[in-house]
Amino acid sequence: MADTASNAIPRAAGTDMRSLLRRLAPFFGTPLNAALTIVLLWLMARFGWLLLDWAVLKAAIFPAEPETCAGTSGACWSFVIAKSGQILFGIYPPTERWRAGLVCVLIITTLVASARPSAWRPSLGLVWVGMMVVVLWLMGGGFGLATVPTSSWGGLPVTLILTVFAIGLGFPAAILLALGRRSALPVVRTLSVLFIETIRGLPLLSLLLVASILLPLFLPDSLLPDKFVRALIALTIFAAAYLAEVLRGGLQSIPGGQSEAAEALGLGYWKTQRLIILPQAIRIVIPALTNTIIVMIKNTSLVLVVGLFDLISSGKAALSDPAWPAPSTETFLFIGLIYFALAFSFARFADFLERSGAEKRG
């Protein structure tokens, strides 16, 4: 063992040099490639420097006051710092912001805790229902907390609540719709098809407008749910219709022999779906589900058209403070970063799920 190791050292040095050359070959192998490489490197350095200069070197950061930004040509981060509370929590009463913060922590913690497949037991459903109840209590108040109407909710908690509730409620509905569309019962099948095709045929924007403007015209005030709830319902049925079609793709790819084998063992329809068909179907459509869910995370920002304050509308509201210059680039970069973090973590999670499934089956 020791012999081979000492022998390997001089040889390694030679291969290192050669492998370095081999790796550089695609970039400098021909005059054209060499020229392209140099031009691109120059451009990257040029813009990289500009970005660094703007975002860090010339940036106005501390103290977080309007004067800090005066006269700087760099980024005005002091605005984002000073206004972070307003951007993150919108018009939620500043004294109660801890509640909105706690809601974000609670939702994210529950999501992370649910991520490992070993945690997927029926009891997890109860944890989620419990989490949703606590979230609504913390945000809305009552039972010892000051009441905050949904019209005062805003920012990140709104984005998180809309996303989690729309997908959390939309996913089970999507499963039923997808099964319904493949049902042998004509009534169930027709209703499922009608629902899916109608919702899929409408833009989300129009659904939200119907929920917020048209519905109040037809329903008496006593029957009319809260504006926030109406927007949530619109997002939920939209998510359900899209997720249903993704799931149907998965259901169709499971060979008929699977449900025959399950039924021959005496498992009824629902147990067959739950234990045999859905686990396989969902795993197959993980990439497409991820895509739809990420789109849904970002779709929640459309609620701003019906006057709800999600992350983006809170950012816009913060920008309207006359005491400050309005550094919209910095604000939207900050918000963009939050969206990116949400979507990217979810994509990584889906990737992890897919790989863990593949490893299991060798």
Partner 1 sequence: MKDVESQKDRSAAISIENLGKSFGDFQALRNVTLTVAQGERIVICGPSGSGKSTLIRTINRLEQHQTGRIVVEGTELTNDLKGIEKIRSEVGMVFQHFNLFPHLTILENCTLAPVWVRKLPREEAEETAMHFLRKVRIPEQAGKYPGQLSGGQQQRVAIARALCMRPRIMLFDEPTSALDPEMIKEVLDTMIELADEGMTMVCVTHEMGFAQAVADRVVFMDSGQIVEENQPAAFFSAPRNERTKLFLSQILGH
Q: Give me the residues that bind partner 1 (CB under 8 A), please.
A: 255, 257-258, 260-268, 271, 275-276, 279-280, 283, 357, 360-362
- Shortest separation between residue 236's beta carbon and partner 1, angstroms: 29
Tokens found for residue 184: 């042998």
Question: What is the Cα–Cα distance from 179 to 248, expressed in whole angstroms?
Answer: 7
For partner 1, the closer of residues 32 and 187 by Cβ is 187
Helix (H, G, I), strand (E, B) or coil at 59: coil
Question: What is the Cα–Cα distance from 99 to 84, expressed in whole angstroms?
Answer: 16
For partner 1, the closer of residues 221 and 359 by Cβ is 359
Residue 18, burial from CB neighbour count under 10 angstroms (0-12, 13-18, 19+): exposed
- Shortest separation between residue 188's beta carbon and partner 1, angstroms: 16
Question: What is the Cα–Cα distance from 203 to 159, expressed in whole angstroms?
Answer: 19
Cβ contact 88:307 at 8 Å: no
- Shortest separation between residue 261's beta carbon and partner 1, angstroms: 4
DSSP letter at 225? Answer: P
- Shortest separation between residue 263's beta carbon and partner 1, angstroms: 7
For partner 1, the closer of residues 200 and 274 by Cβ is 274
For partner 1, the closer of residues 325 and 357 by Cβ is 357
- Shortest separation between residue 333's beta carbon and partner 1, angstroms: 43
Which among 156, 153, 146 is positioned nearest to 91, based on CA atoms?
153
Question: What is the Cα–Cα distance from 297 to 158, expressed in whole angstroms?
Answer: 11
Which among 101, 98, 69, 95 is positioned nearest to 82, based on CA atoms?
69
For partner 1, the closer of residues 201 and 268 by Cβ is 268
For partner 1, the closer of residues 27 and 352 by Cβ is 352
- Shortest separation between residue 40's beta carbon and partner 1, angstroms: 45
Residue whose token pair is 């050669």? 18
**H/E run at residue 338:** helix 328-360
Question: What is the Cα–Cα distance from 351 to 306, expressed in whole angstroms?
Answer: 34
- Shortest separation between residue 360's beta carbon and partner 1, angstroms: 7
- Shortest separation between residue 309's beta carbon and partner 1, angstroms: 43
For partner 1, the closer of residues 18 and 271 by Cβ is 271
For partner 1, the closer of residues 27 and 120 by Cβ is 120
Tokens found for residue 243: 């997720």
- Shortest separation between residue 281's beta carbon and partner 1, angstroms: 10
- DSSP states of 268-299: -HHHIIIIIIHHHHHHHTHHHHHHHHHHHHHH
For partner 1, the closer of residues 283 and 298 by Cβ is 283
Contact residues for 140 (Cβ-Cβ < 8 A; gap 6+) = 147, 148, 149, 150
